Structure 1
């Protein structure tokens, strides 16, 4: 009878060991949850960037207003008859 109790105790210890340390343990599940949260945060940052870029693409597909605006701000476009004023901050 003692052997039966000893075998059962060893089996329980083995099962508990796998639960706490082995594959699929609490520690591994916790670590995977942390990785999922970090990846979701990174995905959110990339989604915001992608949304901004998509808005820019939609803006560029519109008629010449968007292209002219970019040329004015990035390249200093000035039409004939317009006067250019440069305001310098001290």
Structure 2
């Protein structure tokens, strides 16, 4: 009789552990889902790091290079040097 009880108890424990493995907290499905989220977040972080590196380079260039300051002023603010003539080409509407 005790063997039967022990076997029954072991089967119950096995079923419980299998349930937790496949469906409970920390299950395989949850681990796979979290790994996908981690990979997605790492890609997003890499994009943002690239953007930050580009912006840091631009800031450093603006701090040290007068030509880049002039280019930024011309492109962003539409500044024109004395003696220059500004021409704007407008494409006709179709």
**Do they fold alike, i.e. is TM over 0.5?**
yes
Unaligned runs of 5+ in 1: none
Unaligned runs of 5+ in 2: none
Deviations 1:21-74 (A, max 9, x none): 222210110111111012112112211221221121022112321111111222
Aligned residues: 90
Within 2, Cα distance between the matches of 1:26 and 1:60? 51
Which runs of 4 or more aligned residues in structure 1 lie more than 4 Å from their structure 2 counterparts after TM superposition?
none
Show the counterpart of 2:60: 58
Within 2, Cα distance between the matches of 1:32 and 1:59? 40
Within 2, Cα distance between the matches of 1:12 and 1:80? 85
**Normalised TM-score (structure 2):** 0.79
